[in-house]
Amino acid sequence: MSTVAAETNHPLLTALAEVVGSDNLLLDVDQRKLYSCDVYSEGKLCAAVVRPTSAEQAATAVRIIAEHGYSIAPRGGGMSYTGGYIPINDTTVMVDTGAMNQILEINETDMYVTVQAGVTWAQLYEALKPKGLRLPFFGTFSGIRATVGGGMSNGALFFGTARYGTGADNVLGLEVVLADGSRLRTGQAAVNNGKPFFRTYGPDLTGLFTHDAGTLGLKTEATLRLIQWPPESAYLSFVFKGAVEIAGALSAVARSGAAEEAYVFDPGSTAKNLADADIASDFKTLTKVIRGQSSLGKGLKAGAKLVAAGRGFVDQDLFSLHVVCAGRSEAAVKDDVAIVRRLAEEHNGEEIPNSIPMAARANPFQPLNGVLGADGDRWAALNSKVPHSDAAEIITGFDKIMEKYQAEMDATGVFITRLMIAIDTHAFSFEPVFHWFDSWLPLHKKIPEPSHLKKLKEPAPNAAATEPNCLWTSSRINPAMSSDHSMHKNKDIVD
């Protein structure tokens, strides 16, 4: 039982309730348990959860918490698996940005948008779309809950990443509350009456606060750059026989600059993703595919292809590469498509129906049933970014290391799938995902849709799978393989 919550008249709680109101100060044990776990693990029970609605409230709350000697853990959508906000002591107050969810300014003249940190990627996508605008990187798969503040703090990447990089690559300025409660603006907005249109004002303080896992302060606002919504798009998928071969194709597509997204599923993740998502029969997806094309004729053709492909179109023993091209004109996109096809062919790829990238774009922010695997399994992803020249080495080196632990993993029911993602022209992301069967954390019972949860059976506890001396949990403290997208490669992992 936590020190503070045990005493409801504790001066810290009284002071916090005065700032945010008692409705936005959560003390209930079940609520605190939910906030004290992420997708991977649970920590100590937090002392309280405070939900400010404004930067002023957030700054005052942070100052008060620090003055009382308590730890502060910023939390956005809680959709990470990095332990980034997990309390390591029972005197932690979680600062949940969920109630700071206002889009403050969409500036169509200067092409930026300023949001409170708790705005989700899905919220922003929906608000910008009717204006014909988009973020260059426009969110993570978890974007129905994952927030801009969380994404700036832990290296969010996916939609748009092959052309525009990560979320942090596209931020123009931040407002950060420091531990003493002071509010710091970065970029041009730091100047008196300055507009947040440019990232630097002297040294790049904006960059300093990105990918920090919230350790350097609480982000309360972010300004992101905007682009015009590309009116034309095309989707391509290919299969390849081996991991190294497909990695070569992914790097080539990345270097060409022809794609907005380019990503690879290994055979295991293809099977799991197709089992998780009822791609072709999902009416919502289908109508969005049709609407997403630049004309009704094209839309109907794309929708018909999606239905025809069904779910059995990827041979589940093969690696698959999925690519989205997008641009201002049909001719420009055609050129990009031709480049991608040529590169895939040069790497011995075989083209297959494009249902996966088309469906992912049509319905980018799905309900987060995926916090659990298709069979109710738990999972956590590790991530490493390498230059293209090291891609083959990290893939084969990882497999070599894992071979040593195969018997141990088999005994505890741990299995691995792999993702690869192109980040702009210059970086290759290799992401092994570890799966195992284990009892669920409060978050796993709360986040999926109830109808989805009903179809799954909670597995029995399986502590052996994540024991500290087990390889993949110990790799969490190895800087080479981090479950945070912001970490870099350490050579040792492949030596």
Ligand X SMILES: Cc1cc2nc3c(=O)[nH]c(=O)nc-3n(C[C@H](O)[C@H](O)[C@H](O)COP(=O)(O)OP(=O)(O)OC[C@H]3O[C@@H](n4cnc5c(N)ncnc54)[C@H](O)[C@@H]3O)c2cc1C
Q: Which residues bind ligand X (CB under 6 A)?
A: 39, 73-80, 84-85, 97, 117, 140-142, 146-147, 149-151, 153-154, 156-158, 213-214, 218-219, 368, 370-371, 485
Q: What is the DSSP letter of 230?
A: P
Smallest gap from residue 416 Cβ to ligand X (A): 17
Smallest gap from residue 159 Cβ to ligand X (A): 8
Cβ closest to ligand X, residue 141 vs residue 198: 141
Smallest gap from residue 108 Cβ to ligand X (A): 26
Q: Are 237 and 323 in contact (CB under 8 A)?
A: yes
Cβ closest to ligand X, residue 72 vs residue 343: 72
Dist. CA 81–CA 154, nearest whole Å: 11
Smallest gap from residue 392 Cβ to ligand X (A): 23
Cβ closest to ligand X, residue 154 vs residue 384: 154
Cβ closest to ligand X, residue 101 vs residue 256: 101
Element housing 309 (H / E): helix 296-309
Q: How many other C-beta atoms can be found within 10 angstroms of the C-beta atom of residue 50?
A: 25
Q: Are 378 and 440 in contact (CB under 8 A)?
A: yes
Cβ closest to ligand X, residue 143 vs residue 303: 143
Task: Give me 333's structure tokens.
Answer: 């996109």
Cβ closest to ligand X, residue 83 vs residue 303: 83
Cβ closest to ligand X, residue 333 vs residue 381: 381
288-305 burial: b if 16+ Cβ within 10 Å, else e: bbbebbeeeeebeebbeb
Cβ closest to ligand X, residue 277 vs residue 290: 277
Q: What is the dihedral of CA 378, 379, 380, 384, to 10 degrees?
A: 170
Q: Are 419 and 261 in contact (CB under 8 A)?
A: no
403-419 burial: b if 16+ Cβ within 10 Å, else e: eeeeebbeebebbbbbb
Cβ closest to ligand X, residue 38 vs residue 232: 38
What's the Cα-to-Cα distance from 91 to each of 1, 62, 65, 273, 337, rounded to whole Å? Answer: 11, 14, 10, 39, 55
Smallest gap from residue 38 Cβ to ligand X (A): 6
Dist. CA 158–CA 145, nearest whole Å: 15
Dist. CA 343–CA 161, nearest whole Å: 19
Smallest gap from residue 483 Cβ to ligand X (A): 9
Smallest gap from residue 97 Cβ to ligand X (A): 5
Smallest gap from residue 403 Cβ to ligand X (A): 28
What is the DSSP track for 156-188? ---BTHHHH--SGGGEEEEEEE-TTS-EEE-GG
What's the Cα-to-Cα distance from 66 to each of 59, 73, 179, 221, 287, rounded to whole Å? Answer: 11, 11, 7, 21, 50
Smallest gap from residue 456 Cβ to ligand X (A): 15
